[in-house]
Amino acid sequence: MRDQVMPELENVDGYVGISLLVNRESGRCIIAAAYESEDAMRASADKAKQLRSQAVERFGGEVEKIEEWEIGLLHRDHQSADGACVRATWAKGDPGMAEQNIEYFKTSILPDLESLEGFCSASLLLNRSTGLGVSSVTFDSREAMQRNRERATALKAEKIGALGVDELDESEFELALAHLRVPELV
């Protein structure tokens, strides 16, 4: 990813970064490429398809699904370093509540996340047409993520209940590659 895919993406107009999440136990990987606009993302579709095929071949897996997300919120307390880990939570809510959900995440969820030991960053991605969303919280290390698991789970239960969304999935990952030049969106 770092040596072959990233250099090719750097030449794509509107490309602003990539991240790679890896769960070595399950083999699940999430590759997220970010673009400055939906138009830039659409214009890169052929190149993305080619690079995706190369990645699948090198990783020895298959593409489970391809999803398009809008970055609703991104906040970095500090840059991640080697050993950083991510807890990602997928949820579904009312598509008409996207703006209210972003605001709630910003004003109610984010301050609680920032208080967790080892907190590095948080993001909220959403699909306004389907009501799907995924939040990711990055911690400085696997140990910090594990130490916070109980508190984070309690916060999630409280906040998801207040939002009125349904949790679909949660998974923990190693942040294998973080190269996003996306500005702070808080």
- For the chain, which residues make up each domain, given as ranges? 70-172
pTM of the predicted model as reported, rounded to 2 decimal places:
0.92
Exposure pattern of 62-97 as b/e (b: 16+ CB <10 Å)? Answer: eeeeeeebebbbbbbeeebeeebbbbbbbbebeeeb
- In this prediction, the residues of the chain whose per-residue pLDDT falls under 50 are none
β-bridge partners, 119: 139
The per-residue pLDDT for range 102-140, each reduced to its tens digit, is 999 999 999 999 999 999 999 999 999 999 999 999 999
Find the distance separating the first CA and the last CA of the chain, reported in whole Å.
29
CATH of 70-172, one of 1.10.10.10, 3.40.309.10, 3.30.70.100, 2.60.120.10: 3.30.70.100
State residue 186's pLDDT score.
61
State residue 56's pLDDT score.
82
State residue 1's pLDDT score.
81
95 and 129 Cβ atoms separated by less than 8 Å: yes
In the numeric block, the tokens 């995706």 are attached to 52
User: Cα separation of 156 and 150, whole Å?
Assistant: 10
SS3 60: coil
In the numeric block, the tokens 């997928």 are attached to 90
SS3 176: strand
For residue 147 the two structure tokens come to 């130490």
State residue 11's pLDDT score.
87
State residue 87's pLDDT score.
97
User: How buried is residue 43: exposed, middle or buried, by Cβ count under 10 Å (0-12/13-18/19+)?
Assistant: middle
